[in-house]
Amino acid sequence: MQKIIQLFSLFTIYLIFSSCQHQSKKEGDVQGFSSDEKYQKEFQEKLILVEDGGVVELPEGKFLLKKGLSIEGKKNVTIKGAGTGKTILSFLGQTEGAEGMLVTNCKNVTIENFTLQDAIGDNLKLKGCDGVIIRHMNSTWTTGADTSNGNYGYYPVECTNVLLEYNEVSYCADAGVYVGQSTNVTIRHCYAHHNVAGIEIENCINSDVYKNKAENNSGGILVFDLPKLFQANGRNAKVWDNDCLNNNFRNFGKPGSIVASIPPGSGMIIMATDSVDIFNNRIINNKSVGVATVSYFMTGKQLNDSTYGPYCTAIYIHDNKFDRSGLSLTERVPDLSTDLGKLLSISFKGGVDILVDGSSDPKIRDKNGQVPEDKRICIRNNGAVKFGNLNAWKAHGREDIMKYKDNDISKFDCTIAGIQGNNQNPTTAN
C-alpha cells in the first residue's frame, strides 16, 4: 500500500492558483425574480403544515429566497411545481441554511417538476429517508463553473429505496447526481453536464445506473467507496446503456476534495468498490481515460480505517463502445492538471480507453499471487481499445512506472457472473 502512495505522491502538484479563484461575490441570474418575503414564509409553512399523504404545490413563478426550505418526518408526501421552466426557486444571496431544500427522516417522499438553483451548499439534500423519488427536476448554479458553487445538485444520503429519473443538473462543484451511503438505488434518464462529476454513487449497496447522459463534465460517471463513512463497503452496482460523452470540462472542484483529483477527460472511474457490472455504454471522446478501475491509494491520501477495503474487486467491463476518433491528436493528450492525468501521460503517451492500476487486495491473493476468479477485474468484448495497466503495486518510483506498466489486456479476459444491481423494483415504471 505504501508503495502506491509513494508512487502517487511523486506527482502531487496542486495548482495553487485554483484556491484563489472565484473569491469575489457571485453574480448569477435573478432577472425577473420576486424577492417578496411572503413567498419564503408561505412555502415553508406549506412544508411544515402538510399532513401525511398530502401534496405541497409550489406555484408558477420565479422566486428569490434568502433562507433554505426544509421538511422533516412526513409520510407519503409530494412536493411539486408547475414545471422546471415555470417554478424556479433561486437561493442566490442565501443568508440562512446551507441547502436550497432539506428533506429529513421522511418516508415515501416525491419531489418533482421545479427548478432549484444557486444554493450555498447543495440544492436538494435528503437524509435518512425511506422511499425517495426525484423526477423531472432541474438543478443548477447560474454562476457557471465556479469553485464556490455548492457541491451537489441532488444529494440523497443514508437513504433507502431511491429513484432519480428525468432530471437535469449542471455546474456542481462536486457531483451533479450524488447518492451516498444508500441502499436500493436507481438513477435513470438523467442529464448531467458541466459538473466536476456528472453522476456518482458512493458507498451504496444495490444500485442501477442506466439510460443517463453524462456530457461535458470533468468525469462522467463515478462509482466510489470511501473510508470512515456511516455505510462502508459499497457493492452491487450495474451501470449500463449510458452515454458518457466529451467529459473534458475543466475540473473546478474544491482543492483537497476527492473529485479535485479527477482528470478532465474521464468517462467513468471505479474506485475501491466491489461487484460492479459495466456494459453496453457508449464512452465517446473522453480525452484522458474511458473507464478507469483504481484503488483508493490512487488518491495519494493516507488511509486510517481498518474496516475499509481500498481495492476494486469483481469488476466486469464488457460490451461497451469506446471511440476517441472525434478528438484530434493534440486533444487526445491527458489533462495534466491532476496527478492521475500526469500518470497517464507519462505511462502511455496519451489517453487510454480502459485503465487499471493493477493493484489487488493482498488478503485475497493465493500463494501464487492469484486473485480468486469471482474477485477479478474482467474485460471483454469492448472492441479494439487502447488499454493500460499501471501495475502500481510493483512500482517504487518514477522509473518503475515505465518498467512495470504494460498494455496486455489478455490477462483480464474473463467473465464474472451474478453481479446484482438494485434487486428491488423501482417505485415507478421505466
Task: Please report the pLDDT score of residue 230 as a whole number.
Answer: 86
pLDDT (tens digit, 9 = 90+) per residue, 358-373? Answer: 888 888 888 877 889 9
> What is the structure's pLDDT at 29?
75
Cell of 384: 479494439
Residue 367: what pLDDT? Answer: 80
The pLDDT, as a whole number, for residue 15 is 28
What per-residue confidence (pLDDT) applies to 165?
Answer: 98
Provide the grid cell at 403. 518498467
pLDDT at 286: 97
Task: Report pLDDT for 363.
Answer: 87
d(CA 126, CA 138): 16
Global pTM reads 0.92
Residue 331 CA to residue 90 CA, distance in Å, equals 37
3-state secondary structure the chain: CHHHHHHHHCCCCCCHHHHHCCCCCCCCCCCCCECCHHHHHHHHHHHHHCCCCCEEECCCEEEECCEEEEEECCEEEEEECCCCCCEEEECCCCCEEEEEEEEECCEEEEEECCEEECCCCCCEEEECCEEEEEECCEEECCCCCCCCCCCEEEEEECCEEEEEECCEEECCCCEEEEEECCEEEEEECCEEECCCEEEEEECCEEEEEECCEEECCCEEEEEECCCCCCCCCCEEEEEECCEEECCCCCCCCCCCCHHHHCCCCEEEEEECCEEEEEECCEEECCCCEEEEEECHHHHCCCCCCCCCCCCCEEEEEECCEEECCCCCCCCCCCCCCCHHHHHHHHHHCCCEEEEECCCCCCCCCCCCCCCCHHHCEEEECCCCCCEEECCHHHCCCHHHHHHHCECCCHHHCCCCCCCCCCCCCCCCCC
Model pLDDT for residues 294-331, shown as the tens digit of each residue: 999 888 788 888 888 899 999 999 999 999 999 988 88
Mean residue pLDDT of the chain comes to 90
- Predicted pLDDT of residue 202: 97
Confidence at residue 365, expressed as pLDDT on a 0 to 100 scale: 86
In terms of Cα–Cα distance, which of 141, 82, 137 is closest to 110?
137
Residues paired with 117 in a beta bridge: 90, 140
Residues in the chain: 430
All residue ranges of the chain with pLDDT < 70 are 1-27, 393, 395-402, 425-430
Q: Which sequence spans correspond to the domains of the chain?
A: 2-15+142-412
- The reported pLDDT for the residue numbered 19 is 34
Looking at residue 401, its pLDDT comes to 66
What is the structure's pLDDT at 2? 45
* Interatomic CA distance for residues 285 and 265, integer angstroms: 8
